[in-house]
Amino acid sequence: AQSVSQHNHHVILSEAASLELGCNYSYGGTVNLFWYVQYPGQHLQLLLKYFSGDPLVKGIKGFEAEFIKSKFSFNLRKPSVQWSDTAEYFCAVIIKAAGNKLTFGGGTRVLVKP
Amino acid sequence: GAGVSQSPSNKVTEKGKDVELRCDPISGHTALYWYRQSLGQGLEFLIYFQGNSAPDKSGLPSDRFSAERTGGSVSTLTIQRTQQEDSAVYLCASSPSEGGPYEQYFGPGTRLTVT
């Protein structure tokens, strides 16, 4: 079965540090890729998405992600985090051949220390 | 504009009882999705409706789970004879479906606790 892997379950870092969260998926066909964020007590919201075109996509709040097709990866980055970036981050994939349902990774809890 | 709304926000029920969870999608969105978020299983797909097509039920974990969508808008997820392992946050999402692709917009979820 197709799957999405997020390598880090928990990340702790200080403000102004750089963040990179890994995401790999196991499907060789056409995919749409997403990063969603869930702030404490809030619902899931979209950070950024990749459908086609430039593999480097920019999202809200200074986040960006790079789609590397040859590595089946879609890693999330932010050069300088803030305390308000404390949240759980989910990578998700739509496999076009399987319909529009999202397959999520296990999530990464990020704690930014002030 | 208004986002996806879900009710109730919290539901506590006794094992063996039936529960109904409601989702109101964003107006005009023709695709509606149900997911659940639990500690053991993470975020997993349950079912989705797209326009007038037959729903994709491939994620429903057992025949105790069912969902319907009336009039192409509001959806109800029903869990019969609830079990403790059904305890989770049930999330609804919606999106446009013509053309696309599109992102999915999530509601706040219903936290179900089965005692």
State pLDDT tens for residues A11-32.
999 999 999 999 999 988 889 9
How far apart (Å, rounded) are the C-alpha atoms in residues B102 and A113? 34
CB contact under 8 A, B45 and A101: yes
pLDDT of residue B108: 96
> Which residue is listed with tokens 């990020």?
A110
How far apart (Å, rounded) are the C-alpha atoms in residues B59 and B102? 20
How far apart are the CA of B10 and the nearest CA of chain A, in angstroms?
13
How far apart (Å, rounded) are the C-alpha atoms in residues A1 and B32? 23
Residues A28-55 pLDDT 10s: 888 999 999 999 999 999 999 999 999 9
Specify which residues A104 forms β-bridges with: A92
pLDDT of residue B1: 58
Q: Are the C-beta atoms of A6 and A104 separated by less than 8 Å?
A: no
Q: Are the C-beta atoms of A102 and A3 separated by less than 8 Å?
A: no
pLDDT of residue A88: 97
Which of A67-71, A90-94, A109-113, B39-43 has the weakest average pLDDT? Answer: B39-43
Indicate the residue of A32, A96, A100 with minimum beta-carbon distance to B31. A100
From chain B, the residues in CB contact with A107 under 8 A are 42-43
pLDDT of residue A11: 97
What are residue A9's phi and psi, to 5 degrees? -90, -35
How far apart are the CA of A108 and the nearest CA of chain B, in angstroms?
11
CB contact under 8 A, B103 and A45: no
Task: Please say if the pLDDT value at position A97 is more than 90.
Answer: no
* DSSP class of B53: S
Q: Which of A49, A58, A63 is nearest to A91 (CA)?
A: A49
Helix (H, G, I), strand (E, B) or coil at A93: strand
pLDDT of residue B101: 81
pLDDT of residue A98: 84
Q: Which of A70, A112, A108 is nearest to A92 (CA)?
A: A108
From chain A, the residues in CB contact with B103 under 8 A are 34, 46, 49
pLDDT of residue A1: 65
pLDDT of residue B53: 87
How far apart (Å, rounded) are the C-alpha atoms in residues B17 and B31? 29
Specify which residues A81 forms β-bridges with: none
Rounded average pLDDT over A76-89: 97
CB contact under 8 A, B108 and A43: yes
Segments of chain B with pLDDT less than 70:
1
CB contact under 8 A, A90 and B50: no
Q: Is B64 exposed, middle or buried (0-12, 13-18, 19+ CB in 10 A)?
A: middle
Q: Are the C-beta atoms of A83 and A59 separated by less than 8 Å?
A: no
From chain B, the residues in CB contact with A106 under 8 A are 42
Q: Which of A33, A39, A43 is nearest to B90 (CA)?
A: A43
